[in-house]
């Protein structure tokens, strides 16, 4: 892992695997404002959910501000436009670790932040009429490992104790293996835990936000990769962003570049590490509901998990299953997927495992494959993970004008919407008592963030000492 973690990320490649969500592409996909300005108040790099929401929040608070959004490829062509479609926190999975490392108050703050951000995503889509197949309902974690099952129950018990039994973020239900089979059609589980979550076309959601922001004055420049960020020089303040089409002087720059961030800011190499994920869109087996399952899923085993949504009834391509994961089932637990920013291809073994996953988990309840074939499309995307297993948000240490909102641990649709609002508040100096109580302090970028050795994806495996105790 040490060698993989310090590989230097490369720029987003020009011919990525074709994402199910981006077909057909949105009319704004290759949008470029006619004017390529030499300067701006704020330059945002990255047009996924973080960058789009940062732009929207700035322009909402500061009408008329000069804001440029740079994107290396088409708009929302990175992780947000290549994800699994989930708005799901699974907050209990990290809760015990967060209590141990950061204390009860901060652990509770993280849970409530995640829960609130998910709710806000769907509320925003509804409020602004963004057509993105926004759906809220039940999700289930089907658990196949005894240690994971015991740990889940202990974590939820602690959440209820600390947050309170009635807290909306602490609402979970448990089912044993037989009940799991009856309710969720999956075989061989130790048990399951259900709670609130949702699904969404993140690509369509973000394109809707970009449309709103363009109407507020955003200057969007796609196919314009940022190559370097440097101080503007002794004769003027701010930063200069060098792009493939020229340079822009900016008062402030925000990196919303997630797994690619260390390309632009090398001190983050080994602090934010890319991880390639693999996802497939499939037609449901003949014995599954053809117009959509009633819940979304995760399938949790000793050293990893898969995640799956069913496109809800009434949505585009209702019934399609979107499933991803499987890297820890590959040789060396998929170690070779760390450190790469190449989403133009996929690992053959992981691709095969993903294609076989849904039918494996549903077993006899899957039935026969669809006459047109099981898999409609398969693609990859680049996520960003930090050495602490937390986002990095705020002003970059030892700089005056460089800001960051990145490293979302594969949970961008849970964290980014409210994080974008938070970083704009931080830039405006609005960090009062209410902000401190709302925004997790462990997410804030600091010198401390740069001192932790990267250890891979956290909160995924059952700790060995826990297995022995249970």
The Cα–Cα gap between 111 and 350 comes to: 31
Residue labelled with tokens 């988990």:
361
Q: For 180-209, what is each residue's pLDDT tens digit?
A: 999 999 999 999 999 999 999 999 999 999
pLDDT of residue 416: 98
DSSP string, 197-253: EEE--HHHHHHHHHHHHHHTT-EEE-S--EEEEEE--TTS-SEEEEETTEEEEEEEE
pLDDT of residue 469: 40
Mean pLDDT of 207-225: 98
What lies within 8 Å, CB to CB, of 281 at 6+ separation is: 20, 320, 321, 322, 375, 376, 377, 378
The Cα–Cα gap between 25 and 57 comes to: 25
Mean pLDDT of 319-333: 94
Most confident by average pLDDT, 3-17, 141-155, 234-248, 332-346: 141-155
The Cα–Cα gap between 316 and 135 comes to: 12
| Helix H or strand E segment including 40 | strand 39-45
Residue 165: CB atoms within 10 Å: 9
Mean pLDDT of 102-120: 98
pLDDT of residue 465: 41
* pLDDT higher than threshold 90 for residue 157: yes
Q: For 6-18, what is each residue's pLDDT tens digit?
A: 888 999 999 999 9
Backbone angles phi, psi at 66, to 5 degrees: -85, 105
Asked whether the bond before 24 is cis by omega within 30 degrees of 0, the reply is yes
Closest CA to 198 of 283, 108, 109, 311: 311
The Cα–Cα gap between 19 and 358 comes to: 19
Beta strands in 264-418, from DSSP E residues, in sequence order: 272-282, 295-301, 304-310, 321-325, 375-386, 392-395, 402-406
pLDDT of residue 35: 82
pLDDT of residue 34: 83
Mean pLDDT of 374-401: 94
pLDDT band (50, 70, 90) for residue 454: confident
pLDDT of residue 459: 53
pTM for the structure as a whole? 0.95
Mean pLDDT of 236-240: 86
Q: For 262-320, what is each residue's pLDDT tens digit?
A: 999 999 999 999 999 999 999 999 999 999 999 999 999 999 999 999 999 888 899 99
pLDDT band (50, 70, 90) for residue 333: confident
Mean pLDDT, the chain, integer: 94
Mean pLDDT of 70-99: 97
**Torsional sign, CA 107, 265, 210, 394:** positive
pLDDT band (50, 70, 90) for residue 235: low
* pLDDT higher than threshold 50 for residue 322: yes
pLDDT of residue 470: 34
* pLDDT higher than threshold 70 for residue 234: no
pLDDT of residue 393: 98
pLDDT band (50, 70, 90) for residue 466: very low
Mean pLDDT of 119-142: 97
* pLDDT higher than threshold 50 for residue 89: yes
Mean pLDDT of 47-75: 98
Q: What are the residues facing 240 on neighbouring strands?
A: 230, 249
Percent of the chain beyond pLDDT 90? 87
Higher pLDDT: 234 or 233? It is: 233
Q: For 434-443, what is each residue's pLDDT tens digit?
A: 999 999 999 9
């Amino acid at each position: 892992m040490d060698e993989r973690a310090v590989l230097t990320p490369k720029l987003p490649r020009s011919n990525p695997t074709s994402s199910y969500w981006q077909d057909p592409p949105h009319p704004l996909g290759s949008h470029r404002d006619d004017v390529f300005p030499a300067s701006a108040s704020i330059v945002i790099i990255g047009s996924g959910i973080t960058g789009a929401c940062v732009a929207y929040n700035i322009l909402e608070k500061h009408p008329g501000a000069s804001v440029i959004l740079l994107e290396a490829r088409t708009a929302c062509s990175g992780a947000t436009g290549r994800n699994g479609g989930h708005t799901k926190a699974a907050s209990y999975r990290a809760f015990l670790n967060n209590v141990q490392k950061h204390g009860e108050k901060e652990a509770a703050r993280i849970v409530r932040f995640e829960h609130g951000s998910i709710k806000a995503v769907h509320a925003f889509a509804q409020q602004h009429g963004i057509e993105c197949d926004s759906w809220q309902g039940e999700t289930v974690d089907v658990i196949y490992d005894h240690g994971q099952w015991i740990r889940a129950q202990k974590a939820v018990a602690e959440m209820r104790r600390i947050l309170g039994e009635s807290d909306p973020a602490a609402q979970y239900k448990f089912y044993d293996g037989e009940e799991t089979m009856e309710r969720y059609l999956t075989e061989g589980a130790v048990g399951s835990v259900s709670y609130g979550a949702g699904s969404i076309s993140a690509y369509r959601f973000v394109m809707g936000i970009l449309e709103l922001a363009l109407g507020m004055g955003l200057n969007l420049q796609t196919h314009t990769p940022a190559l370097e960020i440097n101080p503007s020089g002794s004769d003027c303040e701010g930063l200069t962003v060098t792009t493939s089409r020229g340079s822009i002087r900016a008062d402030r720059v925000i990196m919303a570049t997630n797994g690619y961030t260390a390309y632009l800011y090398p001190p983050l190499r080994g602090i934010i590490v890319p991880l390639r994920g693999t996802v497939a869109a499939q037609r449901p087996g003949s014995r599954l509901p053809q117009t959509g399952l009633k819940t979304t899923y995760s399938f949790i085993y000793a050293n990893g998990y898969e995640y799956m949504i069913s496109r809800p009834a009434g949505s585009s391509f209702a019934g399609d299953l979107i499933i991803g994961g499987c890297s820890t089932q590959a040789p060396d637990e998929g170690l070779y997927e760390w450190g790469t920013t190449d989403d133009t291809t996929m690992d053959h073994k992981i691709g095969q495992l993903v294609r076989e996953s849904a039918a494996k988990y549903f077993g006899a309840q899957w039935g026969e494959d669809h006459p047109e074939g099981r898999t409609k499309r398969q693609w990859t995307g680049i996520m960003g993970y930090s050495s602490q297993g937390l986002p990095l948000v705020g002003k970059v240490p030892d700089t005056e004008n460089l800001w960051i909102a990145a490293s979302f641990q594969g949970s961008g649709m849970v964290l980014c919407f409210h994080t974008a609002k938070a970083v704009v508040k931080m830039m405006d100096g609005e960090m009062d008592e209410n902000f401190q109580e709302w925004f997790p302090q462990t997410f804030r970028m600091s010198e401390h963030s740069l001192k932790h050795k990267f250890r891979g994806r956290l909160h995924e495996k059952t700790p060995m000492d826990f297995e022995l105790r249970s």
